[in-house]
Amino acid sequence: MTTRLGLGLPQMRQYSIGKDVPDVARAAERIGYESLWVFERALFPEPATQGLYNMAGVPWPDEYRNVADPLVTLALAATATERAELGSSVLVAPLHMPFQLAKALASLDVASGGRVIAGLGTGWSLDEYAASAVRPFEERGKVLDEIIEVCRAVWGPDPVGYDGTLTKIASAVVGPKPVRPIPVMLAAGNRRAFQRLVDHADGWLPAGFSAEQVAGQWRQLRELAEERGRTRPIRTVLRVNTAREAKPYEGADRRPFQGSVEQIVSDLVEHAALGLDEILLDLQSGARDAQELKDVAAEVFEKARAAGV
């Protein structure tokens, strides 16, 4: 059985969002991609006092200077497609009020005919939290917990009731309701986050580092699920951010998924062997425009399938 492949939608400044998002979404669906994805980057601090992913001294990519809103981007893709799932990898959940986010995701699911995947994470940027967060950075885990609970409540049967720190719903009719239960997937990389995922979420959104690292985390997550008595399967979607230039990475010659199309496909083969359900390819940063993004997406898809991915 082949691994499902998803494609990151164009959100960066080299794209004309209103024209290019529907165009790329339609093309991706024709090519055979089974899902379309967005990420969230609220701002670009200048000067940046915090390294990328909170790693000291690692600069923010220049592409992050201009990133379109993820929910607007997904709405544009929803109107242009019929089958592909529409997911976020990830929404920085604590930058959003729980009730409004639940309503927006439900509305998007109805508009798309039941194709939304709610991929959530806590984020890492102190500047983004200062500008937009509903609670301090130190409370991000608690906020994510409440967001998941509010989403489940709002998406569930009426009357809706919820009594939380940020959200108070005495008793109300809340619509529209999602077409089907929206899968909640979480970015997680430590035991506390894994426990939240095992207890409260439908799936996992790992990042595309080395196959050995991903395999180790996947093993830990499955062991924890068994330990906590979870019997439901955990859906997995691996995000990989590609780059044309191969750069040294943690003692290796390069970071995975950097370099030529052939090298990216070779890395896809290695990661597909881990048995994850799906791999999301974000190719947008290396493309000059939408046409090049579509061309590269088609080439990668064709060669990946030929290689058995």
For the chain, the distance separating the N- and C-terminal CA atoms, rounded to the nearest angstrom, is: 9
- The DSSP string of 237-286 is EEEEE-BSS---BTTBSS-TTBSSHHHHHHHHHHHHTT--SEEEEE-GGG
Contacts (Cβ under 8 Å, ≥6 apart) of 220: 191, 194
* Per-residue model confidence (pLDDT) at position 256: 85
pLDDT at res. 72: 98
Q: 13 CB contacts (<8 Å, ≥6 apart)?
A: 63, 65, 66
10-residue mean pLDDT profile of the chain (309 residues): values are: 93 98 98 98 95 92 96 98 98 98 98 98 97 97 98 98 98 98 97 97 93 96 98 97 69 75 95 96 96 98 97
Spatial contact of 74 and 88, defined as CB atoms under 8 Å apart: yes
Residues 6 or more apart in contact with residue 237 via CB below 8 angstroms: 6, 35, 87, 89, 117, 119, 185, 203, 204, 205, 276, 277, 278, 279, 280
| pLDDT given at position 255 | 79
- Cα–Cα distance for residue pair 88/74, rounded to 1 Å: 8
221 touches 189 (CB < 8 A): no
Ranges of H-type helices in the chain: 17-31, 70-80, 98-112, 126-132, 140-155, 191-200, 211-227, 261-272, 290-306
Question: pTM of the full predicted structure?
Answer: 0.96
- Counted residue by residue, the chain has a size of 309
Note whether 195 and 229 are within 8 A (CB): no
Q: What is the pLDDT of residue 163?
A: 98
Q: Using the 8-state DSSP alphabet, how is residue 57 labeled? A: T
